Amino acid sequence: MLAMRESLEYAGAWVGVKLLGILPRSVARFVGAQFAFIAYALRPPLRQAAMFNLKLAFPDWTEAQRRETVRGMIRQIGWMAGEFSQFPKYTAQNIARIVLVDGSENFDAARQRGKGVLFLTGHMSAWELAPFAHALYGHPLHFLVRPVANRRVDALINKYRCLSGNQPIEKNRSARAILKILNEGGTVGILADHNTDLEESVFVDFFGVSASTTSGLARIALRTDAAVVPGFLCWDSTTRKYRLQFGPAVELVRSGDEDVDVVANTGRFTRVIEDYVRAHPDQWLWVHRRWKTRPPGDAPIY
C-alpha cells in the first residue's frame, strides 16, 4: 500500500513538472498560480495559519490588508512552481531575462575574505530560483535540504535544483560537509526563517514574538569566521523580473562566550530576515507555523 502511494506521488510530481515544463514560461506561471489558489482553498489549516501569523506580525492591519497579502503570497508560490518547471530552459545566456542581481559586490567582497560564505536566505518569492540563478551567474553553491519522504520525488526535485551546478547537503548529515566546503572557500545556502526543534534552536524575537530559530548558522559562522551574507529573491513588478538582492555581510558579535554570542548573532540574522519580510510582506511564506515551538512552560500559540 505504501509503495503504491509513493508511486502515485512520484507520478503526480513527474507529470506536474513535465506538463508545466512544456508550456511557455508565462503560461506555466499562470497555471501554477491557479493550482496554488485551488490548493490553498482546499486546505483550511493553511488559511488559518496564514491569517493567524499575519495578525501576530501586523496587529494594526485590517482584514482586507491581510487577505490581499495572502493572495500575493499564493501567487508567488504558484509562480515558483511555474519557474521550477522551466529550470531546464534557463542558461547563463538567458538568465538575465528572468533574474537580475543587486549587490553582487557584497557577495564578491565576502568571497574574497577566503573563509567561505554562508548565504543567509528565507522562503521569499520563488526561493528555489535564487540559488539556481546565482549558479548560472557563475556562483554555484551547496544548499541544505530536508529530504522529501518519497525518495523518487526527492530525487526528481534535486535533479532540477542541481541543473545549474548546485549541490544538496542533507540537513541531518550537514556539519562535517559544511565545514569542508567553507574551508575550501565555498558557499553554503541556508534557509533560516522556519520553526526549529528545541534541541537545534535558540529563541529570538521575530516580529516581536519569541521564535525558535536555528542556532547552527551562528555556531558555524563563529567557529569558521565565514561571512554571513543576506541574499533574498523578490519579484519586481516594474521590470517584470525577479531581483536577487545581496546585502553586506552581517557583522558578528564576539564576546568570548559562545552561547551568548550564538543567541546575539541569531537575533541579528533574524532581524535581517524580518526587515526583508516587512519590505515585501506578500512574498513570504505565511502558511508556515513559524512560532509553533515554544519555550518550555509556555502555552502553545497555535
How many residues in the chain? 302
Q: Is the pTM of this model over 0.85?
A: yes
4-62 pLDDT, tens per residue?
Answer: 454 545 455 666 888 899 999 999 999 999 999 999 999 999 999 999 999 999 999 99
278-301 pLDDT, tens per residue?
Answer: 999 999 999 999 999 999 999 999
- pLDDT at position 250, please? 98
217-253 pLDDT, tens per residue?
Answer: 999 999 999 999 999 999 999 999 999 999 999 999 9
- pLDDT at position 151, please? 81
